Structure 1
Amino acid sequence: MTRTPPAGSRDNPEPIVGNLGEPIRLTDMNLAGISATAARAGETVTICTRMEISSDQALFHKLIGNLAAAIEHRARAAGAYDRLERASTVFLVIKPDNSAELWIDRAAMVAYTTLKRPGPLKAGTVLFENDTVDITGIWFPHVDVGPADRILCIIREGWRFGLFFDFNRGEGNELSIDDARRSLGRMVRKMRYADLYAALAHEPTFSAIVSVGWFPFLELMKGEFRGLLDAQEAGFELDDAEGALIEKFDAERLGRMFDRWMERPHLKSREAILRPAISGFNAKEPVAVIKIILSEIEGVMSDVYFEANGVRSHRIPKLLEFMISLAEQRARGNDTLFFPVEFGKYLKDYTYAGFHPGDIGSAGSRHAVSHGAVASELYTMPRALQALLTLDQLAFYT
């Protein structure tokens, strides 16, 4: 791991952001860990030297007071008096000689995200929350951090706090900035979307929303899925929530989504097939949308599988397993907002739900649609939007 290059250096030229001030410089900041077990005098104690935790967990509240008191004590000794409980972001960098820099709401913070907007992006482009779909990392690019340093970070997210520290600097244990950046991103992501993680972890809630064809698709991540989930949890019919959502998918938004598809080779090759599906949605013709999209999803997965493995597979379980693995690789984990494992379950339980000839199926079921076993009145705009969003989710995975 190399030291973060300072702003304005050859490796980090022309910064467009910077720190808001200077850190509080501390001495004798010899934090080494947190006792993980109780012990009497003379007994062996287990020390935790790395942790990632939020205020949703009881242990956080046992730790944070002592940690804050230790840091505030050294800050007062340095002639500063800052109450950490009032801060939004605290970043502490402890050097091998136990000197330290304490940044309290002064260090420039960068969020690493996955963008959903298509096309190249220039430095300085204004982005909105709806332009992003995941938080993959958090870091402080203009703070000097080296491989022998120990770090601690406290971040406020809404009404939650997150604590991360890595004090494990024994022989052969250098600080990995990449790992710390991902840990901070994961911590912030889980705090910001805590209600969503909880809903997906609660099997009755997740099964109920999947049974009517909805999922926290990346395109719906910024609050729109929450509206559907609130209605479902309240026991309301989803007609009003679905109708409001359909209205938000106008020609402009669908155009951006289609442009994103065209950046993926396996969808670009299907441009002439997929474009009529977008036109059909704009014209409020759900039959055309559903018939086209549900027949192409399997082909996209098969093409991606062939590119990776050199052989074809048309076995749906095998293709779904492959796509889940691919999504985990792309998102660097299975607990990101890509929700690859949960999406695999969605595909199995809804899009590729079991079907027997003679059954009357759902317009969200690929098998029922392909067998012509769906009543005409079931081809609705909400089911058409679900089909588009399912393909869109797969596009993020490829």
Structure 2
Amino acid sequence: MNLKRADTVLLIIRPDNTAQLWVDTAAVAMQILPKREIVAGAAVFEGDIADVTGMSFPLVDIGKEDRIVCLFREGWRFGLFFDFNPRGDLSIIGMQRDLGTLHRRMKYRDLYDVVADEAIFSRLIAAGWFPFVEILGPEFQMFASCCEAGFDLVDEEAKLVAKFGAARIERMFARWMARPHFADKEPLLRSALKSFSAGEAVPVIKIALTEIEGILNEAYRRVHGAGARIGTLLEFAVASAEQRAGHPDTLLFPTAFAQYLKTHTFANFDPEGTPGSAGSRHAVGHGAAAAESYTMVRALQALLTLDQLAFYT
């Protein structure tokens, strides 16, 4: 046993001051929010993970009166969790959540840094991009790296659009249909996806952007019994994402997504000024978006925005 090379060190101190020390011998379980339906016994890859919500030690007996110290590494980063439990009422669920938060913040440190960097994140939003769940990983990281370096995104955007073939689109659609407020819109959403597969950006954008508010309103109505205006709906989406993940500090980035929706998807435009962009629901809905802005890139961004809401509500 060499502590210098250990990945996970877990110390359990019992009420009688005896202790158990586990050095890379305690099984670790991660609680995740998956991007797709996971069959029992199937392999789960990093690309299948939408969010990490908890970390636990399922084979270690931890009681409410115990004290805990856990040191673990993720790459070159180290996390330290401890609870000396002075009241003798250890929250097992709270411990698992906090361990998951530590793991998530270390493993996805680069992603958190991008969202926290106002200059890089504002450039991403201006281009219509966000760390959408569906493209988390190398696909989004490439956009972030290009924005950080000041490079044009055109080539990378074309590559990403090409990756959304029929199989990937169907996986997204299946995810949507699992949500009642999406399922009610099945004919419209199916039409949008067929148009995307056919390379027709205009109907995709016209359908997807104008249905976002309706889907949010239906989700809100199911909870509160009545509809609401868009400002309230955006607040509802953020609160729903935080509740679902169990923590506001999550890979769903609900607060940042609210910023994206307000400054991009629902961005205001001046009907007396220059034409708006097909990325704006208001410009599209009022027929004020420039014709040349109806691109397959904008169409994909509209679908990814809808897809993000499927994880939120």
Scaled by the length of structure 2, what TM-score is found? 0.97
The one of 136, 154, 157 aligned to 1:239: 154
| Matched positions, count | 312
The one of 338, 350, 357 aligned to 2:271: 357
2:188 is matched with 273
By how many angstroms is 1:201 displaced? Answer: 1.3
Matched, 1:114 2:33: yes
CA distance in 2, matches of 1:222, 1:235: 20
- Higher helix fraction (1 or 2): 2
Flag as ranges the 4+ runs of structure 1 deviating above 2 A.
none
The one of 131, 137, 141 aligned to 2:48: 131
Structure number with larger C-alpha Rg: 1
By how many angstroms is 1:174 displaced? Answer: 1.2
1:329 is matched with 243
Q: Which amino acid aligns with 1:117?
A: R
CA distance in 1, matches of 2:256, 2:283: 22
CA distance in 2, matches of 1:375, 1:198: 34
By how many angstroms is 1:123 displaced? Answer: 2.5
CA distance in 1, matches of 2:3, 2:142: 35
Aligned runs of 1:24-35 on 2, under 5 Å?
none
Q: Which amino acid aligns with 2:140?
A: F
2:71 is matched with 154
Scaled by the length of structure 1, what TM-score is found? 0.76
2:281 is matched with 366
The one of 91, 95, 101 aligned to 2:14: 95
Deviation by residue 1:238-277 (Cα, 9 ceiling, x = unmatched) = 0111112112211111110100000000111111110011
Say if 2:192 and 2:207, in contact at 8 Å, map to a contact too. yes
CA distance in 2, matches of 1:337, 1:331: 9
Deviation by residue 1:202-256 (Cα, 9 ceiling, x = unmatched) = 2122111111110011111122111101011111110111112112211111110
CA distance in 2, matches of 1:206, 1:185: 25
Say if 2:201 and 2:299, in contact at 8 Å, map to a contact too. yes
Q: Which amino acid aligns with 2:12?
A: V
Contiguous gaps of at least 5 residues in structure 1? 1-81
Helix, strand or coil for the counterpart of 2:237? Answer: helix
The one of 59, 63, 84 aligned to 1:167: 84
Contiguous gaps of at least 5 residues in structure 2? none
2:227 is matched with 312
Q: Which amino acid aligns with 2:148?
A: E
Matched, 1:104 2:104: no
Deviation by residue 1:126-158 (Cα, 9 ceiling, x = unmatched) = 221121100000111001111111111111111
Aligned runs of 1:217-228 on 2, under 5 Å?
217-228=132-143
1:339 is matched with 253
Helix, strand or coil for the counterpart of 1:101? Answer: strand
1:181 is matched with 96
Q: Which amino acid aligns with 1:345?
A: Q
By how many angstroms is 1:305 displaced? Answer: 1.3
1:348 is matched with 262
By how many angstroms is 1:289 displaced? Answer: 0.8
More displaced stretch, 173-182 vs 262-271: 173-182
By how many angstroms is 1:353 displaced? Answer: 0.4
Q: Which amino acid aligns with 1:144?
A: D
Say if 2:66 and 2:88, in contact at 8 Å, map to a contact too. no
